[in-house]
Amino acid sequence: MREYHFNWFLAWQSFPRFYWGLALGLELAALALLAGSVIGIAAAFGRAFGPLWLRAAVTSYVEFIRNIPLLLLVYFAFYGLPKAGITVFDNVWSFIIALSAYSGAYLTEVFRAGVGSVPVGYTEAGKAVGLTPWQRLRLVTLPVTFRIILPSLSNTFISLFKDTSLASALAVPELTYAAEWLNVNTFRTIEAWTFATAMYLFAGYGIALILRRFERRYAVIR
Amino acid sequence: MAHQILSGLPQLLRGLGVSLEIAGIVLALASAGGFLVGIVLQYGGILLRVAARVYVDTIRGIPVLVLIFVVYFGLPAVGLRLSAFQAGIAALSIFASAHIAEIVRGGIDSIPHAQTDAAKAVGLTFWQRLRLVVLPQAVRRMLPPWVNTAVEIVKGSALLSLLGIVDLLLAMQNVVGYTFIVLPFYALAAFLYFAVNFTISRVAGVLERRFAYLKY
Amino acid sequence: MAADPVLRIMNLHKRYGALEVLRGVSLDVHRGQVVALIGSSGSGKTTLLRCVNALEDYQQGQIYLEDERIGYHEANGRLVRLSESRLARQRSEFGMVFQSYNLFPHMTVLDNVALGLMHVQRKPRRDSERIALSWLERVGLADKIKAYPFQLSGGQQQRVAIARAVATQPKVMLFDEVTSALDPELIGEVLTVMQDLARSGQTMLVVSHEMIFVRDVAHRVVFMDGGVIAAQGPPDQILLHPETERLRAFLGRFHGVLGHG
């Protein structure tokens, strides 16, 4: 400790980097949650109602993604896809693709469980009223499913937000990268990582609070 | 090309060995530490419980990568010189121990209070109750999430490649770097990770079924 | 039974928050006696039982097992709970049987019964298993020693629970509505075991709704109402000639069984 000279002012000057990094991290997480949800809903229905090959494909996808490191997916999206001919994505979009594919696998399970736990009484009431299957899906099953899985979605979002730290490996300027930048350029290690840690904790706690309130209003109490 | 892939294989396998070694050490350390913290969370005095709760929630509230960098960069700043390997293992162990602490606390908490009552009525002391009645039942409930944590640890070991440790991921990147063959090696690395984690989960499933006679 | 009581409960007071559950309960149990506690739910009888072997705490009062004060000692006029290890030792002098049996599901029947012998009384495994086996024979389950609790019926589990409680030869046995969770056809086998124990001179404190059993086996019946002892005496007096309105109202539920009312 003797040899370390604190310089909080120098670190504070770089604060915008941290702030915008946090914002970018949240954006990345939100986009991945959205894209992952689309994948998840499609996959959940595919596995529930599709032909055998589709069910096998979804299961393979989910099992595969859940058993490999996210970092491998990230590198694949950035370094591997161009080799397969897809060259249009920069580092930020490569990461979003990787994180979306990753979250899709987990969300498939969330949606499957959610649809499965819609009380049979609701769909039967829908039938009794005379709704077509598509109407029942749109007006009863999906809205109720959404409310049931709201806590899981919140937790997934917070998880994804923490996973955005891996974007720093592609030099995407999110929060972890900001701390790395400060560390490498000014050697203010403790300040840099204190900022990052504190911001992740506060952001996580804040998001959780907001989402809890949202849940209390909308989540189904069964 | 097949020849080149084959020549890169030994390096990948060496990297896999490093990954497994890391995962094994981390799992052992994290299980031991997490177990202690979990017991404290469940049975400790108010001060210890709060401290443990703060520890667990803080560690779980930050990304594991940030924790790795904090340990790797931060420790030298306070005078502690660790190798990348040691720092990486320390960070991963701290991270996983927080998860395991929650698992242990949850497992113990799920044992019906009536079991503790019966154990008290027989005249067993606190440590006897824990050893003979509570833990044997709780451990069986902790097994699935604990295996999950083991899988997460294997996946987390890949992050240590960012510290320059030549695990499976970095070995793959190195091989790709000098052979310029990309997709096959990515596929191979992915397959190896998948095989390891899938096996771990399956073995755990078998173990779970062996203990399934514990119906409640 | 002119000797000193084996169990003395003196002026017990217990509160759950604002609710007074026990309001000055005093009771003596002599060696070899079977004392039955009857009353509606909420009258405090189960709470009283659980206070005896220190599973519950209380704010005021004393409980003595022979000469030893159970659960607390006095310091500066305040009750101080004894250490965990002392409580454990005191509890081993009691044997408790619960309404929901509470057998340890991860152990065989034999291990359940031998547990107290091995770990509390520190007997060697061979001796503990031998004693456990003899008690299991006594309750009629010698053929089930290697079974696990989930493989037994409710009545069988409860008989194992009784064997577990009595194997360590406790001074007083505590029974907490042990037949209330059983299917009717299984109640008889458990009551038979309890009657057998009573006849062999075991001191028993029994909370029960089984009025026939109480009438036939208990030496004394204690009627609890609203946290106090409202009436006590021999079964014939209490059950067949109830003197108070409350007692009559309570017993009215059982009139077919008791043959009056």
Which pLDDT tens digit goes with each residue over B115-173?
999 999 999 999 999 999 999 999 888 998 999 999 999 999 999 999 999 999 999 99
Half-sphere exposure of C164 (CA within 13 A, CB side): 32
- Yes or no, beta carbons of C102 and B214 under 8 Å apart: no
Average confidence (pLDDT) over B15-30: 97
The answer to whether C174 touches C52, Cβ cutoff 8 Å, is: yes
Q: Is B162 on the interface with A (CB under 8 A)?
A: yes
Which residues on chain C are in Cβ contact (under 8 Å) with B124?
88, 115-116, 119-120
The pLDDT assigned to C242 comes to 87
Average confidence (pLDDT) over A87-92: 86
* CA–CA separation, A202 and B194 (whole Å): 34
Rounded to the nearest angstrom, the minimum Cα separation between B146 and chain A is: 15
* CA–CA separation, A9 and A19 (whole Å): 16
ipTM of the complex: 0.90
- What is C10-67 written as a DSSP string? EEEEEEETTEEEEEEEEEEE-TT-EEEEE--TTSSHHHHHHHHTTSS--SEEEEEETT
Q: Which secondary structure element, helix H or strand E, spans residue B94, and what is its range?
A: helix B84-109
Q: Is A4 on the interface with B (CB under 8 A)?
A: yes
Q: Is C39 on the interface with B (CB under 8 A)?
A: no
Under the banding of pLDDT at 50, 70 and 90, the label for residue C154 is very high
* CA–CA separation, B10 and B192 (whole Å): 13
The pLDDT assigned to B216 comes to 44
The pLDDT assigned to C1 comes to 46
Of the residues B122, B125, B141, the best mutation for testing chain C's interface (the one with the most C CB atoms within 10 Å of its CB) is: B122
Number of separate domains in chain B: 1
The pLDDT assigned to C261 comes to 41
Considering only the beta carbons, identify the residue of B62, B74, B176 that sits closest to A201: B62
Q: Round the average pLDDT of chain C to a whole number and report it.
A: 91
Find the residue in B nearest to A167 (Cα): B65
Q: Round the average pLDDT of chain A to a whole number and report it.
A: 89
Q: Is B88 on the interface with A (CB under 8 A)?
A: no
- What is B34-57 written as a DSSP string? HHHHHHHHHHS-HHHHHHHHHHHH
Q: Does residue B85 surpass a pLDDT of 50? A: yes
Average confidence (pLDDT) over A119-142: 82
Determine the distance from the C-alpha atom of residue A21 to the mean position of all C-alpha atoms in its chain, rounded to a whole number: 16
Q: Residues with Cβ < 8 Å from A8, sequence gap 6 or more?
A: A191
* CA–CA separation, C216 and C259 (whole Å): 13
Domain membership of residue B4 (yes or no) is no
Pairing state between β C172-176 and C203-207: parallel
Which of A33-47, B65-79, C113-127 bottoms out in mean pLDDT, i.e. has the lowest?
B65-79
The pLDDT assigned to B213 comes to 58
The encoded tokens of residue A66 equal 């859940």
Which of C100-104, C203-207, C252-256 bottoms out in mean pLDDT, i.e. has the lowest?
C252-256
The pLDDT assigned to A2 comes to 54
The pLDDT assigned to C2 comes to 53
- 3-class secondary structure, C220: strand
Rounded to the nearest angstrom, the minimum Cα separation between A162 and chain B is: 5
Q: Is C164 on the interface with B (CB under 8 A)?
A: yes
Find the residue in B nearest to C97 (Cα): B118
Q: What's the DSSP call for residue C111?
A: H
Residue with tokens 């005191």: C90
Closest CA to C121 of C80, C147, C158, C89: C89
* Runs of H (alpha helix) within chain C: 45-52, 84-91, 109-115, 125-138, 154-166, 184-199, 211-217, 235, 245-252, 255-258
Of the residues C56, C86, C106, the best mutation for testing chain B's interface (the one with the most B CB atoms within 10 Å of its CB) is: C106
* Tens digits of residue pLDDT in C48-100: 999 999 999 999 999 999 999 999 998 888 889 999 888 999 999 999 999 99
- Yes or no, beta carbons of B123 and C106 under 8 Å apart: no
Find the residue in B nearest to C115 (Cα): B122
- Yes or no, beta carbons of C120 and B133 under 8 Å apart: no
Rounded to the nearest angstrom, the minimum Cα separation between B213 and chain C is: 8
Considering only the beta carbons, identify the residue of B70, B76, B155 that sits closest to A69: B155
* CA–CA separation, C208 and C217 (whole Å): 12
Closest CA to B8 of B181, B187, B195: B181
The pLDDT assigned to A118 comes to 82
Which residues on chain B are in Cβ contact (under 8 Å) with C84?
125-126
* CA–CA separation, C229 and C222 (whole Å): 7
Which residues on chain C are in Cβ contact (under 8 Å) with B114?
98, 100, 102
Of the residues B20, B22, B57, B73, the best mutation for testing chain A's interface (the one with the most A CB atoms within 10 Å of its CB) is: B73
Specify the amino acid at residue B60: R
- Give the number of other CB atoms < 10 A from CB of residue B71: 24
Average confidence (pLDDT) over B8-23: 94
Q: Is A208 on the interface with B (CB under 8 A)?
A: no
Closest CA to B120 of C59, C159, C95, C122: C95
Rounded to the nearest angstrom, the minimum Cα separation between B185 and chain A is: 10
* CA–CA separation, C202 and B38 (whole Å): 42
Q: Is C91 on the interface with B (CB under 8 A)?
A: yes
Domain membership of residue B152 (yes or no) is yes
The pLDDT assigned to C219 comes to 95
SS (H, E, C) chain A: CCCCCCCHHHHHHCHHHHHHHHHHHHHHHHHHHHHHHHHHHHHHHHHHHCCHHHHHHHHHHHHHHHHCCHHHHHHHHHHHHHHCCCCCCCHHHHHHHHHHHHHHHHHHHHHHHHHHCCCHHHHHHHHHHCCCHHHHHHHHHHHHHHHHHHHHHHHHHHHHHHHHHHHHHHCCCCHHHHHHHHHHHHCCHHHHHHHHHHHHHHHHHHHHHHHHHHHHHHCCCC
* CATH value at residue B137: 1.10.3720.10
Q: Does residue C224 surpass a pLDDT of 80? A: yes
Q: Is A173 on the interface with B (CB under 8 A)?
A: no
Specify the amino acid at residue A91: N
The encoded tokens of residue B80 equal 């502690």
Rounded to the nearest angstrom, the minimum Cα separation between B70 and chain A is: 6
* Tens digits of residue pLDDT in A47-87: 888 899 999 999 999 999 999 999 999 999 999 888 888 87
Q: Name the superfamily (CATH) of residues A32-173.
A: MetI-like (1.10.3720.10)
Average confidence (pLDDT) over A194-216: 91
* CA–CA separation, A145 and A113 (whole Å): 9
Q: Is C89 on the interface with B (CB under 8 A)?
A: yes
Under the banding of pLDDT at 50, 70 and 90, the label for residue A157 is very high
Q: Is B155 on the interface with A (CB under 8 A)?
A: yes
- 3-class secondary structure, C200: coil
Considering only the beta carbons, identify the residue of B121, B124, B126 that sits closest to C53: B121
Under the banding of pLDDT at 50, 70 and 90, the label for residue A220 is low
Which of the other chains make 3 or more beta carbon contacts under 8 angstroms with chain A?
Answer: B
- Yes or no, beta carbons of A193 and B69 under 8 Å apart: yes
Considering only the beta carbons, identify the residue of B121, B128, B216 that sits closest to C119: B128
| Whether C and A touch (3+ CB pairs < 8 Å), yes or no | no
Q: Does residue A131 surpass a pLDDT of 90? A: no
* CA–CA separation, A118 and A138 (whole Å): 13
Rounded to the nearest angstrom, the minimum Cα separation between A35 and chain B is: 22
The pLDDT assigned to C258 comes to 67
The pLDDT assigned to A188 comes to 81
Left (φ > 0), alpha (ψ -120 to 50) or beta: where does A72 sit? Answer: alpha
Which residues on chain B are in Cβ contact (under 8 Å) with C165?
121-122
The pLDDT assigned to C123 comes to 93
* CA–CA separation, B115 and C101 (whole Å): 10
- Yes or no, beta carbons of B186 and A76 under 8 Å apart: yes
Domain membership of residue B6 (yes or no) is no
| Whether A and B touch (3+ CB pairs < 8 Å), yes or no | yes
Residues spanned by the domain of B100:
12-210
* Tens digits of residue pLDDT in A110-126: 998 888 888 888 888 88
The encoded tokens of residue A190 equal 């403790």
- Yes or no, beta carbons of B156 and A189 under 8 Å apart: no
Of the residues A6, A63, A94, A193, the best mutation for testing chain B's interface (the one with the most B CB atoms within 10 Å of its CB) is: A193
Average confidence (pLDDT) over C4-24: 93
Look at A213 and C175; give whichever has higher pLDDT. C175
Q: Does residue B16 surpass a pLDDT of 50? A: yes
Considering only the beta carbons, identify the residue of C91, C119, C164 that sits closest to B120: C91
Average confidence (pLDDT) over A160-171: 96
Rounded to the nearest angstrom, the minimum Cα separation between B130 and chain A is: 32
> What percentage of chain A has pLDDT greater than the value 90?
53
Q: Is B83 on the interface with A (CB under 8 A)?
A: no
* CA–CA separation, C131 and C127 (whole Å): 6
Q: Is B148 on the interface with A (CB under 8 A)?
A: no
Would the pTM count as exceeding 0.90?
A: no
Under the banding of pLDDT at 50, 70 and 90, the label for residue A25 is very high
Q: Taking the C-alpha atoms of B87, A178, A212 and A101 in order, what is their torsion angle to the nearest 10 degrees?
A: -80
Q: Round the average pLDDT of chain B to a whole number and report it.
A: 92
